Structures are given as structure tokens and as C-alpha cells.
Structure 1
């Protein structure tokens, strides 16, 4: 919980607890919790209710959140905290035309993401016009353990870093198909490392399938992941490996050059 990470710095005179709390409050809003009350923010972060209220009040006055009938939601201004930086990154800029090409050939949305704090962090995206129940955009964060890009990136971690990730991460069942066994996830990651791609079938959200490949730097280190997501009702599993995988691998190979 965020409050535990904040409390770990107790006694450090250079650590700004109020700033850390404000950032934790911002991160409490996600794709499932777009509108929160003070009590819900307090529960999600572990921050005392009075402190959570002050954080929300400050963010409201600065224009980062909106409030209606006691429910708070993020305003577009929050994108200024990171969007310009993300969209200007060399890797994201280089990936965008390749993602656009994959989208046009596969007729599905394609994304590039990095691993950050145990989550996949979307750096670039090419969207189709189809409506999906889960909204994804540059800056989106999703849990690594149940996403195809996350598993590609976890599989590339040194064993000691993977051990630390698994020790601090609770594998919540996002759907009935979500793998929640650490032993099973380790087994899956061994397979991902061996085969060079990850396929996830409705573990993040019912009806959503995705496949991802690693992006390597010139030294052979995995620095990012590319994926394509599709609806299970429209795309059989075999198409992900037979049709989508070659396109993703070709794009990843071009990014490495």
C-alpha cells in the first residue's frame, strides 16, 4: 500500500511526506476507479482521511482534479505532469510509425510499454476506431503479472529482481482466468523467455486477448515491449501467433537498429 512506502522514509529530513501523499492520491485514480470520494482515496492509499482530504483540496485548487457531489476525478491538466516527456522520448518517437504500420496491417490497436515499479507504463500507442471497454492511452499503467507486455518485461528481469517483484506483489484475480499462483507465473515466465513472446488470454479483462514481444537494445538487453490487443470473440488464439506475432517481431527488429 502507498502509505507503507511513504512511512518507510519516516525520519528522513529530506523526504517530503506531503508531496509523496499528493502523488499517491493521484495514483489512486485508475481505469476502474475514475471517480473517488475522500474515504475511497483514504482506503486505497492508506493515507488518513483528513490528510487525503487536504491533498484532494490542494489538487482541486491547482486544477488537477474536479469535484462533483463529493466525488473527485482527474482533469486533463494532470497529463501535463508527464505526457510531454513521454511522447518526446526517442524510443516512443521511433516506435510510433511502426505501431501505426502494425495497426494498419492487423486492424488492431498496438502499443509500446516499459516496466516501471512493477507495472507496465504505456509510452506510445496506435489505436483503431473500435470501442473497447478498457481505455488505454500514453501514460496508462497496468499490472505486469497479468498483461502480455508485463510478462515479456518480467521474463527479462534478473532472477534477484524478479524475486523481489514477486515478494512484494499480490497477484489479484482480475478475471477467473488470471494466474494468481507465484509458482505458475514463474513457469509461464520461463516459457516467455524461451519462446520470445507472451500471450495472455482474458486474464486482465474478460474478452481481451493480447500478444507481446520484447524490444532489445543494441547490446541485447530488453528495454521495452510491443503488443497487440484484440477481442476474444473476434480473433482466435491461433491468429495471435500465426498473424500478429510476425508483424510484432518485424517491428521490434526495426526498433533495435
Structure 2
């Protein structure tokens, strides 16, 4: 028998399974049956049944007519994150101001493994076919937000994204070649911002700038998005990127980062390059 690692010993399998069941509720399975949940999670039906009954007792799911659905109490998990995260509170007025200045949507996102997660957003108009809201996840490799955060990420994290993402072409313009992708990250780091035009979705243009904490580490990406029907990449670079950089610097300053006191690239956190 293979001995378990310390990391394995410290993990509580029942909690992992409970979250697996919760996360199985999605667009494809908004009201799944027990059998569907067992198929999606790979867990046995008896195990899924016990988990569902536990979650029902806690008020996070409810069942009827053989199908299950999430309850509004699930939203409280995300609310606790927002309430306990100073970054979101600090960034919100800056997002609103940026949206007013650009007349386009402004977003704040964090990196979660191979994906970017929207953690705050001020929408102006719907420009993407996907429903973008707080909690929405998009692939890091195909977004300006993901590239901003990966440009300063440790090399092993960049390689993990390259090796574990499917790196499919979302559009004909998506950069999926690993060598070219690394070069793109080098450019982002050199210039201090990222711009992606029609790589995640045709017609979508997005620019991002890094947000830093007190130590200077990049902890989030600030983004402004528009459509090719309203603007173009050159115009976004000339008119929006300066606003993005200034706003990102203001958020970073509110979080305690001082440009004069610490260099943009922190020693010991040189990231990928």
C-alpha cells in the first residue's frame, strides 16, 4: 500500500466530496437528479444521497420530484468572501469611476489555478455572449486579465497553466502556441499592461493592468472591456490603457503599495521572467 503524503493526510475527503456535489450544479445541470450528480462527480449514489441530505439540512440545497436545486443560502458563501476581502471594498469606487470615464464595463479579477475569476465588476452594457458577473470564470490564457497576472507569476505557475489548460482556440486569433504565449507574457511584463483583441470572443477587446498589494506582489487585474463595434485595439491602447494604469496604481496605493518605496518588480518574486 502506497503511504499517504502529509498533504493527503491533512485533507478531509468528506468536505472535498461535498464541494464536488455543490460545484456540479451548473448551467448544464441546474436541477440535477441524484443519478446525474453521481455521474458528474464520479461518486456513488449512496454517497451523493448522504451529501445532499446533509446540505439540505444546512439549507444549501432543496429537493423535490426527484430533482435538486441550490438555495439562495449558497450566495452567502460569496458574500462572506467579498465582506472579508479588503481588495474588493477598496476597488469598488475606483471601478465605478473607471466605468464612468470610459463608458465601458470595468472589472477586477483574481487568478484561480488556470482560470480568471471576476471578483468585482461595474457593468455598462452587455458586450459578451457569456453572462459576465461576479464569480464568472474564464480561461486565463485567452484574457488580458489572466496575462497580466501570469506575467508576474512564478515560472512553475505559468507552466502549470500551459500544461493543464486545454489551450484551445476560442477564436481564430487566440494565442495557443506555448512559445508564442511565453513571448506574449514577456511583452506584458515589459510594458506593464495587457491588451487582448478578439481572442476570447470575436468582437471583444479587453485591456488590463496589475493591482499590487503592500509588498508589491500582483494580486489582481483591473480590466476595461469594449467591442469592435465601438472601438479598436489602437484606440483602447491610446485612450483606455493610461486610465487603467492610473486607476490600478490608485487601488494599489490604497492597499498600501508605494511605488517610490518599492520597485515594480519585487526581489524574490521576479515571476516568470
- The alignment status of 1:161 with 2:157, answered yes or no, reads yes
Asked whether the equivalents of residues 212 and 228 of structure 1 are also in contact (C-alpha less than 8 Å), the reply is yes
- How far apart, in 2, do the equivalents of 1:111 and 1:40 lie? 34
- How far apart, in 1, do the equivalents of 2:185 and 2:23 lie? 27
- How far apart, in 1, do the equivalents of 2:65 and 2:15 lie? 26
Deviations 1:123-162 (Å, cap 9, x if unpaired)?
2211215474322223333221111111110111122332
Pair 15,159 (structure 1): closer, same or farther in 2 beyond 3 Å: closer
Pair 41,182 (structure 1): closer, same or farther in 2 beyond 3 Å: farther
**CA displacement at 1:207 relative to structure 2:** 2.8
- How far apart, in 2, do the equivalents of 1:240 and 1:44 lie? 42
Pair 29,209 (structure 1): closer, same or farther in 2 beyond 3 Å: farther
Match of 1:249 in 2: 245
TM-score, structure 1 normalization: 0.81
Match of 2:30 in 1: 35
Q: Which of the numbers 94, 101, 108 marks the counterpart of 2:97?
A: 101
**CA displacement at 1:173 relative to structure 2:** 3.3
**CA displacement at 1:29 relative to structure 2:** 4.5
Pair 211,53 (structure 1): closer, same or farther in 2 beyond 3 Å: same
Q: In the TM superposition, what are the counterparts of 1:86-235 in structure 2 within 5 Å?
A: 86-130=82-126, 132-235=128-231
Of 56-65 and 192-201, deviating more is 56-65
Asked whether the equivalents of residues 87 and 123 of structure 1 are also in contact (C-alpha less than 8 Å), the reply is no
Asked whether the equivalents of residues 107 and 224 of structure 2 are also in contact (C-alpha less than 8 Å), the reply is yes
**CA displacement at 1:245 relative to structure 2:** 0.7
- The alignment status of 1:23 with 2:47, answered yes or no, reads no
**CA displacement at 1:76 relative to structure 2:** 2.9
Runs of 5+ in structure 2 lacking a partner?
A: 254-273
Asked whether the equivalents of residues 32 and 69 of structure 2 are also in contact (C-alpha less than 8 Å), the reply is no
- How far apart, in 1, do the equivalents of 2:225 and 2:169 lie? 20
DSSP 3-state at the match of 2:163: helix
- The alignment status of 1:50 with 2:29, answered yes or no, reads no
Pair 198,111 (structure 1): closer, same or farther in 2 beyond 3 Å: same
Match of 2:73 in 1: 77
Asked whether the equivalents of residues 111 and 220 of structure 2 are also in contact (C-alpha less than 8 Å), the reply is yes
Greater RCO, 1 or 2 (C-alpha within 8 Å, sep 6+): 2
**CA displacement at 1:73 relative to structure 2:** 5.1
- How far apart, in 2, do the equivalents of 1:92 and 1:171 lie? 29
Structure whose CA Rg is larger: 2
Runs of 5+ in structure 1 lacking a partner?
A: 1-7
**CA displacement at 1:225 relative to structure 2:** 0.7
Asked whether the equivalents of residues 86 and 139 of structure 1 are also in contact (C-alpha less than 8 Å), the reply is no
- The alignment status of 1:240 with 2:228, answered yes or no, reads no
DSSP 3-state at the match of 1:149: helix
**CA displacement at 1:62 relative to structure 2:** 4.4
Pair 11,249 (structure 1): closer, same or farther in 2 beyond 3 Å: closer
Root mean square deviation of aligned Cα: 3.0
